Amino acid sequence: MRTDLCEKLGIQLPIFAFTHCRDVVVQVSKAGGLGVLGAVGFSPAQLREELDWIDAHIGGLPYAVDIVIPQKYEGLGNTDPAELEKMLSAMVPAEHHAFAEKLLQEHGVPEWPDREQRMGLLGWTEATATPLLDVALERPGVKLIANALGTPPQDVIDRIHASGRLVAALCGRVKQAVAHKKAGVDIIIAQGSEGGGHTGDVGSIVLWPQIIDAVAPTPVLAAGGIGSGRQVAAAMAMGAAGVWTGSLWLSVAEAAAEPEEKECYFAATSEDTVRSPSWTGKPCRMLRNEWTDAWANPETPKPLGMPLQGLVSADAIRRTHRYIATADTRKVAFLPVGQVVGQIREVETSRAVVQRLMQEYVDALERLNALMERS
């Protein structure tokens, strides 16, 4: 299963693995796919440290970095991170901070050890994502920069191209895919609603072929709901140039998630997820819990837009992640995952996941070939 995209990126298999864990990036790339490090939660210094480690362990193989520059958000156009954060912080109503803290206290979530240490704005804006891009472009091993929300600004696309790299961008609508192509995006990632994180409303099996046809011959990666080789085969049969996966890697052996977080995924069914703006301000698919339910209640504060809601939830994200070992904390934890969570039942190594996907893909092809022989 070697496509033209594999040739362009120097990889063996068109399996792209989005993850926040550097170990997973390395192991997927070593298994023949392309590890993609999500950079949104890192400061520039932290990202440089992560990429130093990847470069030291990946053996010269290619990998990618994913950033987030939305097309629309509060404060768009302000390129000074400190000034933007100050302006946005003043826009957040006190009742939103109070409501978030009330939820955490009701569930006994401990305070962060250093109460003076702020999470900051994170990489949800052009002002905060650009320094992350600067770091990524320092690395010759980074062959692809992906943007998770919207068409990247034209100057960003031009800069990435000038560095000799490819640009990818996610989308959940046909018109967004067409906009990506018009702007010069090299790889379009069509993500169906069942995917984890920020998604649109249209399901994968409907969305993929529409986008593939609309932007041809631009290569399209199929995303949303891929957890087996059978699903990979379905995507490739529709004309995809490869698959973009994310939820699969949340519970692998190399993932940095605590054992209790992985158990949350193993225990969940595909019916246990919900699209909610309660963490980031944009619809994001995750495990439904008492945090998502509380923010959906019409009698409580309405989630703010991006990135304002992120300023409200940032402290909750880090605290619930650190203290997720307690059952009450898990009831208000940020657990982004797609509907494919219903297929995730055990810890596998990243290499084993890649090998399983390929074996199941071959098995699916053999079944189809057997049907053809009977006709």
- Whether 23 maps to a domain, the answer reads yes
C-alpha to C-alpha distance for 310 and 347, rounded to whole angstroms: 30
- Whether 105 maps to a domain, the answer reads no
Residue 137, domain CATH: 3.20.20.70
C-alpha to C-alpha distance for 136 and 166, rounded to whole angstroms: 13
Q: Which tokens sit at 77?
A: 């156009």
Q: How many domains does the chain have?
A: 1
Quickly count: other Cβ atoms within 10 Å of residue 177's Cβ. Answer: 26
Distances in Å between the Cα of 127 and the Cα atoms of 76, 138, 166, 205 are: 9, 18, 21, 35
C-alpha to C-alpha distance for 277 and 243, rounded to whole angstroms: 26
- Whether 327 maps to a domain, the answer reads no
- Whether 69 maps to a domain, the answer reads yes
Q: Which tokens sit at 199?
A: 């998604």
C-alpha to C-alpha distance for 217 and 232, rounded to whole angstroms: 20
Note the pTM of the prediction, 2 decimals.
Answer: 0.94
Three-state secondary-structure class, residue 80: coil
Residue 60, pLDDT score: 97
- Whether 26 maps to a domain, the answer reads yes
Q: Which tokens sit at 177?
A: 């895919």
- Whether 346 maps to a domain, the answer reads no
Question: pLDDT per position in the chain (375 positions), as tens?
Answer: 889 999 999 999 999 999 999 999 999 999 999 999 999 989 999 999 999 999 999 999 999 999 998 877 777 777 788 888 889 899 999 999 999 999 999 999 999 988 767 767 777 788 888 999 999 999 999 999 999 988 999 999 999 999 999 999 999 999 999 999 999 999 999 999 999 999 999 999 999 999 999 999 999 999 999 999 999 999 999 999 999 999 999 999 999 999 999 999 999 999 999 999 999 999 999 999 999 999 999 999 999 998 999 999 999 999 999 999 999 999 999 999 999 999 999 999 999 999 999 999 999 999 999 998 886
- Whether 273 maps to a domain, the answer reads no
CA nearest 262: which of 144, 163, 347? 347
- Whether 329 maps to a domain, the answer reads no
pLDDT, tens digit, 9 for 90 and up, residues 256-270: 999 999 999 999 999
Distances in Å between the Cα of 111 and the Cα atoms of 89, 100, 104, 108, 326 are: 20, 13, 9, 9, 14
Q: Which tokens sit at 295?
A: 């923010």
Structural domain boundaries enclosing 242: 1-73+124-250
Residue 116, pLDDT score: 66
